[in-house]
Amino acid sequence: MGIVGARKVEKPWGHEQVFAETDRYVGKILVITAGDALSLQFHRFKDETIHLLEGELRFVSGPDPDSLESILMKPGDTFHVPPHTIHRMIAVTDCRVLEVSTPDLDDVVRLEDRYGREGTSTP
């Protein structure tokens, strides 16, 4: 794998633009529409760092569903999400998020999803 041109992937919460993909990392811009949210999820292997570029984002995370904490992120704020961390991004306003992660893109275990997507995307 190598650096690629931006590839747009439509999502129910907005879209993502994959701008780099190698055997060590993937770079994406997530565009999340105000009021929309990603799944409450965790990854078994994927390690990711998010950096808020524009907008206001509520970031919910924790080690288990009973001990989740919520922070309000503003442009310039960064959050590291190690494997097994339960998390969700909720757009307070339209948001652009830079996400850099390990290349385990199909490693999503959904615990809750507003859009009817269920389960896991791992084999």
Quote helix, strand, coil % in the chain, to nearest 5.
Answer: 0, 50, 45
pLDDT of residue 104: 80
Which pair of structure tokens corresponds to residue 17? Answer: 């633009």
pLDDT tens profile 40-88: 999 999 999 999 999 999 999 999 999 999 999 999 999 999 999 999 9
Distance CA 30, CA 40 (A): 16
In the CATH hierarchy, which fold is given to the domain comprising 7-112?
Answer: Jelly Rolls (2.60.120)
Q: Report, as an integer, the average pLDDT of 84-105.
A: 95
Which pair of structure tokens corresponds to residue 15? Answer: 């879209």
Average pLDDT, the chain: 91
pTM of structure: 0.88
pLDDT of residue 116: 87
Coil/strand/helix, residue 65: helix
Query: What are the extents of the domains in the chain?
Result: 7-112
Place of tokens 């001990």: 67
Residues across the chain? 123
Element (H or E) spanning 99, and its range? Answer: strand 95-101
Q: In what order do the strands lie in the sheet with 48-54?
A: 7-11, 14-21, 26-32, 95-101, 48-54, 78-81
